[in-house]
Amino acid sequence: MPESFSQKTVAQFLDELASQAPVPGGGSGAALVGALGAALASMVCNLTVGKPKYADVQEDIQALLAQTEALRARLTALIDEDIAVYYRLSSAYKMPKDTDEQKAARTAAIQDILRDATKVPMQIAEACVQVLHLCKPIAEKGNVGAVSDAGVAALLAEAALRSAALNVLINLAAIKDAEFVARERAALDGLLSGKAQLKEEIYDLVVSKL
Amino acid sequence: MPESFSQKTVAQFLDELASQAPVPGGGSGAALVGALGAALASMVCNLTVGKPKYADVQEDIQALLAQTEALRARLTALIDEDIAVYYRLSSAYKMPKDTDEQKAARTAAIQDILRDATKVPMQIAEACVQVLHLCKPIAEKGNVGAVSDAGVAALLAEAALRSAALNVLINLAAIKDAEFVARERAALDGLLSGKAQLKEEIYDLVVSKL
């Protein structure tokens, strides 16, 4: 079991991301950026909790904070899950391919793990969609002194969603099961649909409150 | 002098970002996401360097890599610069305001530091624009097996640019020097102009190569 990449320093993470080492890659980068978006959404909530000026929204903010913190934990875990599935895939590509039987076993293993390698960025995308949805009420109800941070949270969640989508698509391109590909592609389209517009709505709301 | 936030673990950085502690905030988040974008652009270059299949573009890729690595270092440094200027601003807000003289000195100090607090996210935005521009030739010429990472780099650089812009705008809203505000706002508009379109061009290019 490899160590958790969230226990590396930010500088180390950046160095290893930039290197030709296979991990971390864009999928883990997307998960981290989603986690950064969730963290900023949490920050706005934490700067609202217990403030007399925001007495009316305390219950809403506490509920929003519980959700952003759960999503932050999930997205942080997905940094490592993307790396773990890469290692599994990499091992499958190294399987012997000298005989027809070996070739068939290797191909079956690769195709099997490629489905899991698709599901990880799909889960990153799903979590980012949830973060993005939470940014709207947080920008509306949260501490106005931190409203720009709610806007940054929305920008990061949407960029992480689209980054995860690219990682879904690159895996789907290698999967032979046409039915699986069509189903995942439709699910991905559903996740992406309307999100650029939602991000712009939140951005405009934030700018109007600056 | 506070410690460098890039020496904290990713998990610590996320915890402190999510907390009600004033630093790090959205400006540092933007700088980190810009650095992640630059790192992914570097990764694509590093996966292209020395590969016989990409013999024709070795010189270009080396030149692009030198630029993405310089921008990664710059953006990583800006994480801490955003925090440092926040501490200066916070100290200024705590200056005594019992007499008219004290009030005037406090206001002058705050207004002075707000200009610096505007320049930091402006520098983050400038660096992100440069990263975004580099992503296009990297997506065109770099290792096609890592083309999705060039796309993620572009998505992150553009989101970090717009995140930095929100941090410029929130500072400008508190600055009284109308000439400074108009000049910085015009400069910011120039940085933002056409970048959403450039990001979409790179995204479409990447998807066409998947």
- Cβ B35–A14 below 8 Å, yes or no? yes
Mean pLDDT of A30-41: 98
User: What pLDDT shows up at residue A128?
Assistant: 98
- Tens-digit pLDDT profile for residues A42-59: 999 999 999 999 999 999
Residue contact B207–A166, C-beta within 8 A: yes
Judged by CB atoms closer than 8 Å, whether chains meet at B155 and A149 is answered as no
* Integer Cα distance of B100 and A80 in angstroms: 57
For residue B40, list chain A residues with Cβ-Cβ distance below 8 A.
Answer: 17-18, 26, 29
Domain membership of residue A3 (yes or no) is: no
CB atoms within 10 A of CB A55: 8
Q: How far apart are CA B149 and CA B135, in angstroms?
A: 10
- Residue B24 in any domain: the answer is yes
pLDDT at A1: 44
Contact B6, A10 (CB under 8 A): yes
Quote the pLDDT of residue B75: 98
Asked if B6 and A9 come within 8 Å (Cβ–Cβ), the reply is yes
- Cβ pair B151:A173 closer than 8 A: no
Q: What percent of chain B shows pLDDT beyond 90?
A: 98
**Residues with Cβ within 8 Å of residue A143, at least 6 apart in sequence:** A44, A47, A48, A51, A54
* Domain-located, residue A2: no
Q: What is the pTM of this model?
A: 0.97
Backbone angles phi, psi at A9, to 5 degrees: -75, 160
A/B interface, count of CB pairs below 8 Å? 180
In this structure, are residues B130 and B67 in contact, taking their beta carbons and an 8 Å threshold? yes
Contact (CB<8Å) A149/B173: no
Q: What is the mean pLDDT of residues A126-131?
A: 98
Band (pLDDT 50/70/90 cuts) for residue A121 is very high
In this complex, do A6 and B11 lie within 8 Å of one another by their Cβ atoms? yes
Domain-embedded: residue B56: yes
- Which residues in chain B are closer than 8 Å to A14, comparing Cβ atoms? 6, 35-36, 39, 72, 76
CB-count exposure of residue A210 (10 Å: 0-12, 13-18, 19+): middle
Model confidence band, residue A144 (pLDDT cutoffs 50, 70, 90): very high
Q: b/e string for B91-106 if b means 16 or more Cβ within 10 A?
A: ebeeeeeeeeeeeeeb
Query: Is B19 in contact with A206 (Cβ distance < 8 A)?
Result: no
Mutation site for B-interface testing, chosen from A13, A148, A207, A209 by largest number of B Cβ within 10 Å: A148
Token pair belonging to B7: 């020496």
CB contact set of B183 (below 8 Å; sequence gap of 6+): none
Token pair in block for residue B52: 């016989």
Q: Which residues of B touch A8 (CB under 8 A)?
A: 9-10
Among chain A residues, CA nearest to B205:
A166
* Tokens matching residue A116: 């899991």
* Predicted confidence band of residue A35 (pLDDT cuts 50, 70, 90): very high
Q: Could you give phi then psi for residue B95, rounded to 5 degrees?
A: -65, 150
Task: Tell me what the mean pLDDT of segment A152-177 comes to.
Answer: 97
Q: Per the domain annotation, does A81 fall within a domain?
A: yes
Measured between CA atoms, the residue of chain B closest to residue A172 is B210
**Which of B170, B171, B161, B165 minimizes the C-alpha distance to B196?**
B161
Establish if A123 belongs to a structural domain: yes
At B1, the pLDDT band (50, 70, 90 cuts) reads very low
Cβ of B43 within 8 Å of Cβ of A169? The answer is no
Q: Minimal CA–CA distance to A142: which of A73, A33, A50?
A: A50
What's the average model confidence in pLDDT over B20-40? 95
CATH of the domain at A31: 1.20.120.680
- A66-93 pLDDT tens trace: 999 999 999 999 999 999 999 999 999 9
Look-up of token digits 């002075």: B112
The mean per-residue pLDDT over the stretch B195-208 comes to 97
Q: Is residue B131 a contact partner of residue B37, using CB atoms and an 8 Å limit?
A: yes
A166 and B158 within 8 Å at the Cβ level: the answer is: no
- Res B22: pLDDT: 83
Domain that holds residue B19: 8-209
- DSSP letter assigned to residue A143: -
Q: How many domains does chain A have?
A: 1
For B143, the token pair is 């290792």
pLDDT, tens digit (0-9, with 9 covering 90-100), for B145-188: 999 999 999 999 999 999 999 999 999 999 999 999 999 999 99
Q: A189: distance to nearest CA of chain B, Å?
A: 14
CA distance B182 to chain A (A): 16
Contacts of B159 in chain A (CB under 8 A): 33, 155-156, 158-159
Instruction: Classify residue B115: in a domain, yes or no.
Output: yes
Q: CA-CA distances (angstroms) from residue B79 to B9, B88, B112, B206? A: 14, 15, 21, 29
Q: For residues A68, A73, A79 and A80, what is the CA-based torsion angle, rounded to 10 degrees? A: -170
Q: What is the pLDDT of residues A130-141, one digit of tens each?
A: 999 999 999 999
- Closest chain B residue by Cα to residue A155: B159
**Cβ neighbours of A29 (radius 10 Å):** 30
**Does residue B2 register a pLDDT over 70?**
no
Which chain A positions have a beta carbon within 8 Å of B76's beta carbon? 10-11, 14
CB atoms within 10 A of CB B130: 19
Q: Do residues A22 and A86 make contact, with C-beta atoms less than 8 angstroms apart?
A: yes
Least-confidence region, from A23-27, B75-79, B203-207: A23-27
B26 to A79: CB separation less than 8 angstroms, yes or no: no
Q: What is the mean pLDDT of chain A?
A: 96
The total of other beta-carbon atoms located within 10 Å of residue B141's CB is: 19
Q: From the CA atom positions of chain B, what is the Rg in Å? A: 20
- Measure in Å the smallest separation between the Cα of B101 and chain A Cα atoms: 27
B2 located within any domain: no
Instruction: Report angle CA B81, A19, B199 to the nearest 5 degrees.
Output: 65
- To the nearest whole Å, the CA of B65 is away from the closest chain A CA by 10
Nearest CB to A148: which of B72, B156, B170? Answer: B170
Alpha helices in A9-99 (DSSP H): 10-18, 26-46, 58-93
Rounded mean pLDDT of B22-46? 96
Cβ-Cβ contacts under 8 Å for A168 (sequence gap 6 or more): A118, A121, A122, A125, A184, A188
Q: Are B4 and A9 in contact (CB under 8 A)?
A: no
Section A162-190 average pLDDT: 97
Residue A22: predicted pLDDT: 84
